[in-house]
Chain A
Amino acid sequence: MIEYWNPLIERMPIEELNKLQEDKLKSIVRYVYQHSEFYRKRFDEARIKPEDIKTLADVTKLPFTYKKDLRDNYPTGMFCVPNEQLVRFHVSSGTTGKPTVVGYTKNDIHEWATSLARAMASIGVGRGDIIQISYGYGLFTGGLGLHYGAEEVGCTVLPTSSGNTEKQIELMQDLGTTTIACTPSYFLFMTEVARSMGISIKDNTKLKIGIFGAEPWSQQMRARIEEITGIKAYDVFGTSELSGPLFTECTYQDGIHIWADQFLIEVIDPETGEVLPEGERGELVITTLAKEALPLIRYRVGDNTVLNKEPCKCGRTHPRIMRILGRVDDMLIIRGINVFPGQIEAVLMNIPEVGEHFQIIVDRVNELDVMTLQIEMTDAAFSDKVNDIIKLEDKVASALHKVLNLAVKVELVEHGSLPRSMGKSKKVIDNRKI
């Protein structure tokens, strides 16, 4: 049976949903123009008045918002409400520059929890489920974000945060965790630690659902995780500038449902800024329709995806974004060829001898980019004949060459020698100084 959190909204006929979006778009544009000095200036520069936005299609007349705008207006320069109306701040890690600060009103927190409650209901998580949240709590949006969503939908929350892995596995067994939320790489690490404790996630725990995200992971990795642990693995999407984790796939695992009454999404050509026809891969752009503290207009999320407006088999009419291969910023350019780490993962996970841990190293040798892929030796792949191992390296290299059209040097390394991650894993080491 398909469960809905809010069937009226989730299954709303598309024409009605479009009308609702149109009204909300007009209202948020008026709101930011009134309450944000930043947007007033940005709209004036673009010679746009709120009255110019009459239909949904008019959204393309609006200027984009960039991550740089949030940084330039650090910490709270783009907020639309005074600080006393805020109930929470979240702050991005700022690994690539100045951190960004996002404020939330009480309503914002509620909308966020609602979005996730719908998402969790769509994968069959709710009352009676014990959800272990192993995303980091604190400034990072992952932990607290899912926490409020899970409570909203009626789960019992076990807020373990990340780390202290053996304890996490003990609790998972003792309390009967049914659902886990963390990065896919941390979950893989957990299964390894569990194995070393003599515990099989599949046979010795009640875990049945995983909500995984905060880093790109491939369809093939999903198949691997589901096979090893016997759970259903779902992709969760969000970005700290909007409000961390917000959306998931439904049980059909066919794209992430984006709630159209809360967010308006477009997919654009990152070079020209033009909206792409449905089904073409491009950069995700999101306009918040319900946020009060920090609404964003046409925010350039940077993730690379495909839009699908077809109603889903689950009965939900809201648009979906298809599996995200990585952020536009994560794309590597190797000898002029665009490479997403997600593509490499997809190739690797199709080769049964290859384990779940790998690392991509890019160097520049004599003005030429050289990509080395390190993969860990597994018990299944090990042969004590040198030739067999060299054959495996060649097999991986040729599979990658077929997909990437690039020569990749493949190195097998010892099991356990690549770094394990408690949060977002770092799969690429780029040593080029460009």
Chain B
Amino acid sequence: MENKIIKQISLFSENKPGRLANIADKFRGAGVNIRAFTIAEAGDFGIIRMVVDNPELAHEVLHETGFTVSETNVLGVEMEDVPGGLAKIADVLGKENINIDYAYAFVTKTEKALLILRVNDIKAALNVLERNGIKLLDMREIQDI
């Protein structure tokens, strides 16, 4: 079950031109491929969150460049790419009183959508999602998307 936990890379960035270009360029150089990506912006700064194919390498590259970067445990939930797909997941978590700290989603090449979730209790979330027959992706599957 533990292998269903996905390492997300989070980094602190000032909200100014060229910052994202710098990160993307470092990834290009290191051959890191981004699978999912979002920016939470809050005025002067932003937090960039990404799921990549090689989180250890990404962390190292960014840290060496001088970024403040951390790894966060998140869940990758496979959803049916149809109306109600998200509702089902949010519903089972809500019923178990598990809070979603943040989430972002994207559509994959198949008929599925992928939802990245950070929750306040990752173990409980894993349990309840699996119990309800919701498919969670592991790192290898993320790499294959």
Q: Which residues of B contact A417 (CB under 8 A)?
A: 14
- Residue A167, interface by CB 8 Å: no
Which of A382, A384, A413, A414 is most buried by chain B, counting CB atoms within 10 A of its CB? A384
Query: Given A377-B68, A415-B66, A385 and B102 touching (CB < 8 A)?
Result: yes
Interface string of A352-389 (1 = CB under 8 A from B): 00000000000000000000000001110011111001
> Which residues of chain A from 401 to 425 have a CB within 8 Å of any chain B CB?
411-417
Inter-subunit contact A414/B42 (CB<8 Å): no
- Whether the pair A415, B68 counts as a contact (CB closer than 8 A) is yes
User: Are A412 and B70 closer than 8 Å at their CB atoms?
Assistant: no
Which residues of chain B from 1 to 29 have any CB-CB distance to chain A below 8 Å in the complex? 8, 10, 12-14
A390 CB-CB contact with B under 8 Å:
yes
CB-based contact A384/B13 at 8 Å: no
- Complexed CA–CA distance, A276 and B13 (Å): 50
Residue pair B14, A413 in contact (C-beta under 8 Å): yes
Contact call A382/B68, Cβ cutoff below 8 A: yes
Q: How many residues of A contact B (CB 8 A)?
A: 17
Question: Which residues of A sit under 8 angstroms from B102, Cβ to Cβ?
Answer: 385
- The stretch of B44-52, B79-87, B104-112, B125-133 in contact with A is B44-52
Kindly state the separation between the CA atoms of A141 and B105 in the bound complex, as whole angstroms: 62
Most buried by A among B8, B14, B70, B118: B14
Interface of A is mostly: loop
Asked whether A412 lies within 8 Å of B72 as measured between CB atoms, the reply is: no
Question: Does B96 sit at the interface, judged by CB under 8 A?
Answer: no
| Contact (Cβ within 8 A) B10 A412 | no
Min CB distance A192 to B, Å, is: 10
User: Which of B42, B66, B69, B72 is within 8 Å of A389, CB to CB?
Assistant: B42
Q: Could you tell me how many residues of chain B have their Cβ less than 8 Å away from some Cβ of chain A?
A: 20
Q: Would you call A412 and B101 a contact (CB within 8 A)?
A: no
Cβ of B57 under 8 Å from chain A:
no
B10 closest partner in A (C-beta): A384
**How far, in angstroms, from A377 to B13 measured CA to CA in the complex?**
9
Instruction: Determine the distance from Cα of A384 to Cα of B48 in the docked complex, in whole angstroms.
Output: 8
Is the Cβ of A414 less than 8 Å from the Cβ of B12?
yes
A5 → chain B, closest Cβ, in Å? 45
Asked if B40 is an interface residue, CB under 8 A from chain A, the answer is yes
Contact partners of B70 in chain A: CB under 8 A? 379, 382-384
Cross-chain contact A377 with B12 (CB below 8 angstroms): yes
**CB-defined contacts of B47 to chain A, threshold 8 Å:** 384-386, 389
Using A384-B47, A414-B12, A414-B13 as known contacts, say yes or no to A390 and B42 having CB atoms under 8 A apart: yes
* Inter-chain contact A412/B45, CB cutoff 8 Å: yes
Would you list which residues of chain B between 22 and 43 have a CB under 8 Å from chain A?
Answer: 40, 42
| Closest CB in chain A relative to B6 CB, distance in Å | 14
Q: Which residue of A is nearest B47, CB measured?
A: A384
Measured between beta carbons, the chain B residues less than 8 angstroms from A413 are: 14, 44-45
Give the distance in Å from the alpha carbon of A412 to the alpha carbon of B47 in the complex: 12
Neighbouring B residues of A382 by C-beta, 8 Å: 10, 12, 68-70
CA distance A382 to B71 in the complex (A): 11
Q: Is the CB of B44 within 8 A of A411?
A: yes
- Minimal beta-carbon separation of B71 from chain A (angstroms): 9
What CA separation (Å) do A379 and B68 show in the bound complex?
6
Q: Which residues of A contact B72 (CB under 8 A)?
A: 384
Quick check: A378 and B68 within 8 Å, CB to CB?
A: yes
Q: Which residues of B contact A (CB under 8 A)?
A: 8, 10, 12-14, 40, 42, 44-45, 47, 49, 66-70, 72, 101-102, 118
CB-CB nearest 7 A-B residue pairs: A384-B10, A416-B66, A377-B68, A386-B42, A377-B12, A382-B68, A415-B68
Given contacts A379-B68, A383-B70, A384-B70, 5 further A-B contacts (CB under 8 A): A377-B12, A384-B10, A384-B49, A412-B45, A413-B44
Instruction: Pick 13 A–B contacts, CB within 8 A, sort by A.
Output: A377-B12, A384-B47, A384-B70, A385-B47, A385-B101, A386-B40, A390-B42, A411-B44, A412-B12, A414-B13, A414-B66, A414-B68, A416-B66
